[in-house]
Amino acid sequence: MNVLVTGGAGYIGSHAVKQLVEAGHNVFVIDNLCMGHRAAVHQDATFYELDIRETEALTEILKKNNIEVVMHFAALAVVGDSVTDPISYYDNNTLGSLSLLKAINAADIKKLVFSSTCATYGEPEEVPIVETCPQSPINPYGTSKLVFEFILKDYAHANPDFAYAALRYFNVAGSAEDGTIGEDHSPESHLIPVILNTVLGKREKIIIFGTDYPTPDGTCIRDYIHVQDLISAHITVMNALQPGDNRFYNLGIGNGLSVKEIIDATKAVTGVDFKVEIGDRREGDPPALYANPTKIKSELDWSAKYTDVKPIIETAWNWFKNNPNGYNDK
């Protein structure tokens, strides 16, 4: 299939491009390179440096390449930043996605797989989280994604032959098993890469954001899914989409781990001890988010291969130790 990947130079998008190319698809990438890396894009994909808010140029690319399906990853994705800079989050994530949908509409494309988030659930009343759990985000990042879920629902209602899936990710971690691509954000804020930068001595310490949460060890609980599993789920969903489909799936492994447990697992994987400090809570962080992943298993027979966090951290560590300066392009 001819697949357009937005944000295909970013961490998750670049893994999608690689797996789609390896599965034999013709892959086209757009990315504004504000966070992404040109070197992360598989050499067999066609690359356009473009912002998703450029509706007309985007429409041309979709038409010219006879795109059949869009995988939409391009977004800002740092919860804390969304609290301090909501305008950028609504501009990039919500208005950017609307711009993409306008182009999809103009080019008459019938399939979209959208990268949504468990942050749309806010502070869920019950964990593990099922897809029917009320969505009430507690940070602008979650809201910026949820608004586009609403937009898609209305667009699909008005266009009955359009098919889409909103995939609500939990915490994505790890890197390609062959070591060719990995995670490189600057600045880095996500837990596992921050810890690995500390292991490498690039940071002096890791600060735990709050130890007074209502969880067994007082630190926040999250569900860490390997990036390759996440993308294999996208490809399974893409292949299953039929006209009129509105699909929603949680993508997690269903296992909640605390910040302290992740720190201990990383010490075990790397064999390196490092300085850990207790800090204040970070605004916008819900205490516990982990998935009930049974819906995608029962409907599409998909489940994650990586069910334990240590092998996930091992793949991340493999990338970090071999690429201590990441892609070295910023």
141 is catalytic: yes
Torsion region of 101: left, alpha or beta (phi above 0 gives left; psi -120 to 50 gives alpha):
alpha
Q: How far is the CB of 16 from ligand UDP (least distance, A)?
A: 18
- Residue pair 284/79 in contact by the 8 Å Cβ criterion: yes
Residue 220 binds to ligand UDP (criterion: CB under 6 A) = yes
129 CB burial (10 A radius; 0-12, 13-18, 19+): buried
Alpha carbon separation from 214 to 158, 221, 239, 265, 270 (Å, rounded): 43, 10, 40, 22, 29
Would you give the DSSP letter of residue 130? P
How many residues form the binding site for ligand UDP (CB under 6 A)? 15
Q: Are 141 and 78 in contact (CB under 8 A)?
A: yes
Q: How far is the CB of 223 from ligand UDP (least distance, A)?
A: 9
Identified catalytic residue from 11, 89, 121, 141: 141
The 275-294 contact track toward ligand UDP, x by CB under 6 A, reads -------x--x---------
Q: Name the minimum Å distance from CB 128 to ligand UDP.
A: 15
* Paired tokens of 71: 């995988």
Distance CA 156, CA 275 (A): 50
Residues numbered 159-198 forming contacts with ligand UDP, rule: CB under 6 A: 171, 189-191, 194
Footprint (CB under 6 A) of ligand UDP, residues 241-260: 259
Cα distance between residue 153 and residue 260, in whole Å:
38
Q: Which of 209, 290, 302, 320 binds ligand UDP (CB under 6 A)?
A: 209
Contacting range for ligand UDP; rule: CB under 6 A; set: 26-34, 104-112, 130-138, 206-214: 206-214
Contact residues for ligand UDP, defined by CB under 6 A: 79, 171, 189-191, 194, 206-209, 220, 222, 259, 282, 285
